[in-house]
Structure 1
Amino acid sequence: MNKKEQQAKNTKKVILRAAEELFSVKGYESVKIRDIAQKAGYSHSTIYVYFKDKEHLLQELTLPPLLRLSKKMEETLQDPYLKPLQKLKGVCKDFVDFALNNRSMYSILITIGAERVDVNPNLEMNVARNLLFKHLETAVKNCLQITDENEKLLCSRIFFFNLHGLIMTYIYKEESIDQLYQRVMPILEKSVAFLIAGMDVGGDQDES
């Protein structure tokens, strides 16, 4: 990488860092390109050299962490030593862990510009978001006797809404990560068990 390429890379990083800080504090919709330029210390026109628009900037910001989470969830699903219920709890924990470690950006990473999971997404970040849901859907399906696609989607949505609701209840608390783990993880364990028990359970649920 030559000096010019390195400078461009560094400039892009500064812009993304400024956007992340502003999105976290003011919310995505409230932030303008001029705000990002001012925060980053560059001209308004410089932003457009690297990013077509604010949506493109959002994609560049969200895609890498979403893909890292997807890889982590996939590894949990492919673990040959885990039984179906353990895998479901594992991918749920992966998701909650990601949320707690990205508290200021969680809503932006998961919900801003999101599309329905049952349609083909137009944006790369929504392809990645839908992949997260597919991992959850796979884990749910493997724990339940579900053959109907609509039923599988419904059950998976119930699990996602449970996760999202739990996260949103605690994510803005003024507590350390360790304190939040101590509060959230026992609730997560119980809620997964309760939801599975309330559905048409199939497969081997014994974790012993």
Structure 2
Amino acid sequence: MRSEETKRSIIAAAEKLFQERGYEAVTIREIAKEAGCSHTTIYIYFQDKEALLHALSMEPLQQLKAKLDVLVADAFLSTDDKLLRLNAQFIQFCLHYKSMYSIIFEAKSVLNDEEEAELPFHRLLNQMFNIIVQLLGTQLNLSEGEQLLNCSRIYFYMLRGIVGTYSNSEESVESIMGRLSITFDHAFEALMLGFSIQLQDRRKER
């Protein structure tokens, strides 16, 4: 149907421009020009630019969230194994969707632990962040509180840092993961060891 083709063209144009120039800099009129339609046509399908961002990001993020939910529910895996597999799935996802990485994680950016996120896909990101909180709490024997939140933030920053390092690489996802997955695992094992030592020292000081 022509209407579906128009909608797909608008989404493709928005993805292209958001990636090239950043979400904030692009206007609806520019998206319309890129898609070959009038700006009023866009409003037939999308309420505003945020709705376009939502359309771009929700489906792949929902797929990632579903995979992480299955991972967390696996009773045969240790918490340590779950964390390492979560890392791999998150890194692979972001590198697979390189063209959308900056759109999903940086456009209208909010803290990944904000309770009242503005956009639906940010709320979904927060849910995935809470999976990290849950697993770290179990692994580090920490209850909810500032210490656990800080450890979870640092853990998430490490994930973001790894992805950011390779987000512009022309190397395939398979090649990057095959070459560096052990290095990634060692980096997180070192981080977890650092958390454990720091927490032990603080408990001794009490």
Whether 1:44 aligns to 2:39 is yes
Displacement after TM superposition at 1:184 (Å): 3.5
Q: What secondary structure sits across from 2:117 in the alignment?
A: coil
User: How does 1:87-106 map onto structure 2 within 5 Å?
Assistant: 87-106=82-101
Shift of 1:24: 1.8
Contact 1:91–1:135 (CA under 8 A) maintained in structure 2: no
SS in 2 for 1:108: helix
Alignment partner of 1:128: what SS? helix
Q: Which residue number in structure 1 is paired with residue 204 of structure 2?
A: none
> Is the counterpart of residue 110 in structure 1 residue 105 in structure 2?
yes
State percent identity of aligned pairs: 34
The partner residue of 1:144 within 140, 146, 164 is 140
Determine if the alignment matches structure 1 residue 19 to structure 2 residue 14: yes
From 128, 132, 157, the equivalent of 1:132 is 128
Q: Does 1:167 align with 2:140?
A: no
Structure in which a larger fraction of residues adopt helix: 2
Matched residue, 1:68: 63
User: How far apart are 1:148 and its partner, in Å?
Assistant: 4.3
Q: 1:47: how far off?
A: 0.7
Partner of 1:206: none
Query: Mind listing any 5+ residue stretches in structure 1 that lack a counterpart?
Result: 1-5, 203-208
Cα displacement (A) at 1:174: 2.3
Q: TM-score, normalised by structure 2?
A: 0.88
Q: CA deviation at 1:193?
A: 0.7
Q: 1:126-173: CA deviations, max 9, x gaps?
A: 111101111121121121110241111111111100111111111112
Structure with the bigger RCO (C-alpha within 8 Å, sep 6+) is: 1
**Letter paired with 2:187:** S
- 1:145·1:200 contact (CA, 8 Å) conserved in 2? no
Shift of 1:25: 2.1
CA distance in 2, matches of 1:65, 1:101: 10
Q: Distance in 2 between matches of 1:118 and 1:23?
A: 24
Letter in 2 for 1:197: L
**Of the candidates 21, 26, 35, which is equivalent to residue 31 of structure 1?**
26
CA RMSD across the alignment: 1.8
Judge conservation of contact 1:92–1:136 (CA < 8 Å) in 2: no
2:54 to 39, 52, 59: 59
Structure 2: distance between partners of 1:143 and 1:12: 45
Q: Which moved more, 1:102-111 or 1:175-184?
A: 175-184
Distance 2:16 2:6 in 1: 16
Q: What is the count of residue pairs matched by the alignment?
A: 197
Residue type at the aligned position of 1:179: S
Q: Which residue of 2 aligns with 1:10?
A: 5
Q: What is the CA-CA distance between 1:10 and the residue it aligns to?
A: 3.0
Q: Which moved more, 1:7-16 or 1:152-161?
A: 7-16
Task: Read off the aligned partner of 2:63 and give its amino acid letter.
Answer: R
Matches of 2:114 and 2:37, distance apart in 1: 40
Work out the CA distance in 1 between the residues paired with 2:196 and 2:20: 43
For residues 30-75 of structure 1, the C-alpha deviation after alignment (integer angstroms, 9 at most, x for no partner) is 2221221112111111011111211121112111111111111111
Amino acid at match of 2:41: T
Amino acid at match of 1:176: S
